[in-house]
């Protein structure tokens, strides 16, 4: 079976694709951005890159930086349209299935090509993809037109299937799967409750991610509760640095930042989660956050925003985590942090519950045969 995957270069995508390694499927990745070199994370996949430029001329980078207007004019002639290139890809490969990950960045750019063929077309919704589509600049008609051609749907939460149906999707639903194909669980990195001293924060501050509000909340938390804690912010946007520097309270705390553009191996991030008493993530929009599932698998007590009621699919408030109802309210988040740190019994019970929950429903090893079978079932139809 030949499968053409259409996606941006993304860690979660690479993890999903690697669930098909040694499956016997012939897998191709069409990188819609055509950005960067081939990925060694999926070196067994045929990677379709280097398609965008008709001519990668000498001194191109210098021209782009030094004379941007001239460079723009040249690129209008020099760049190949994605629909022309993708049609040739399909003509050459003749795939049994096309699978796109995310609608706006990958699905819509190839839609005109897919409308001219009958190749089975799978769409995986990711993150804010469906929940926030209007805010991201898509119209209801854009989404409906896309769904008219989509044969199969995968979502990372139950919420997004309802949104899809409400926007015209009537074809087959393949179910809920985490966007990365499942969580790798390493029990050897899960520390006991008494050794957990880290407050771990996801540092997205990008319009949707609201890590800055978490930092404002920390200013309201009793300093006595934080004195023995190390605060680590990962995937941190640069703007948070000035927020910390300009705050007397924050600058007095033990805070370590890992930039959003600094590569942290997934195993290292999981180890951090396994040493964290609390994991906090806050956003205006999301699907089922992979980082949340990973934190739960490693026993870190989750404090998480709940856009569109998606997080409550895995967290029951005051049982196995705390839900943020208003991601812009630092007082509410401060109250959650205080509750989590003070209530050791709640954290201990949640740790055991969450580790077992992820083991039963999101374990990568358990999901792998289901993902392989998913493609077989599509091919049979």
pLDDT confidence band for 53 (50 / 70 / 90): confident
The Cα 124–Cα 100 span in angstroms is 6
The Cα 258–Cα 242 span in angstroms is 14
Domain at 187-361: CATH code: 3.40.50.2000
Positive or negative: CA dihedral 304, 280, 187, 269: positive
> How many of the other CB atoms lie within 10 Å of CB of 115?
12
State whether CATH 2.60.40.10 applies to domain 2-182+364-380.
no
What's this model's pTM, rounded to 2 decimal places?
0.87
76-113: pLDDT as tens digits: 666 788 999 999 999 999 999 999 999 999 999 999 99
Interacting residues of 331 by C-beta distance below 8 A, sequence separation 6+: 217, 220
> Where are the chain's structural domains?
2-182+364-380, 187-361
Mean pLDDT, residues 354-361: 96
300-327: pLDDT as tens digits: 999 999 999 999 999 999 999 999 999 9
The Cα 207–Cα 239 span in angstroms is 12
| Domains 2-182+364-380 and 187-361 fall in the same CATH topology | yes
| Angle CA 6–12–13, to nearest 5 | 20
pLDDT at position 193, please? 84
pLDDT at position 37, please? 87
């Amino acid at each position: 079976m030949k499968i053409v995957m259409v996606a941006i270069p993304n860690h979660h995508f690479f993890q999903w694709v690697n669930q098909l390694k040694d499956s016997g499927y012939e897998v191709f990745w069409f990188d819609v951005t055509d950005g960067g070199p081939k990925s060694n994370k999926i070196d067994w996949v045929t990677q379709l890159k280097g398609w965008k430029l008709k001519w990668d001329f000498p001194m191109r980078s210098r021209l782009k930086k030094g004379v941007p207007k001239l460079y723009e004019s040249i690129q209008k002639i020099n760049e190949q349209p994605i629909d022309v290139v993708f049609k040739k890809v399909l003509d050459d490969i003749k795939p049994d299935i096309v699978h796109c990950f995310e609608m706006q960045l990958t699905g819509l750019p190839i839609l005109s090509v897919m409308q001219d063929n009958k190749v089975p077309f799978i769409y995986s919704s990711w993150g804010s993809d469906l929940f926030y589509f209007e805010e991201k600049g898509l119209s209801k008609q854009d989404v409906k037109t896309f769904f008219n051609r989509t044969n199969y749907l995968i979502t990372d939460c139950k919420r997004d299937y309802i949104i899809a149906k409400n926007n015209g999707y009537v074809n087959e639903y393949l179910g809920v799967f985490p966007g990365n194909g499942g969580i790798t669980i390493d029990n050897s990195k899960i520390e006991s409750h008494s050794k957990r001293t880290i407050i771990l924060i996801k540092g997205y501050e990008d319009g949707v991610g609201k890590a800055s509000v978490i930092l404002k909340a920390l200013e309201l938390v009793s300093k006595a509760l934080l004195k023995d804690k190390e605060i680590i912010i990962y995937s941190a946007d640069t703007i948070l640095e000035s927020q910390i520097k300009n705050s007397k309270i924050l600058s007095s705390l033990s805070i370590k930042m890992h930039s959003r553009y600094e590569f942290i191996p997934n195993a290292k991030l999981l180890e951090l989660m396994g040493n964290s008493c609390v994991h906090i993530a806050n956003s205006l929009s999301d699907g089922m956050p992979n980082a949340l599932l990973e934190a739960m698998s490693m026993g870190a007590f989750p404090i998480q925003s709940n856009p569109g009621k998606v997080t409550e699919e895995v967290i029951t408030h005051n049982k196995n985590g705390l839900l943020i109802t208003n991601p812009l309210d630092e007082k509410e988040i401060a109250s959650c942090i205080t509750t989590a740190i003070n209530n050791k019994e709640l954290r201990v019970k949640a740790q055991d519950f969450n580790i077992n929950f992820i083991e039963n429903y999101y374990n990568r090893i358990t999901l792998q045969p289901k993902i392989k079978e998913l493609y077989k079932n599509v091919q049979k139809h």
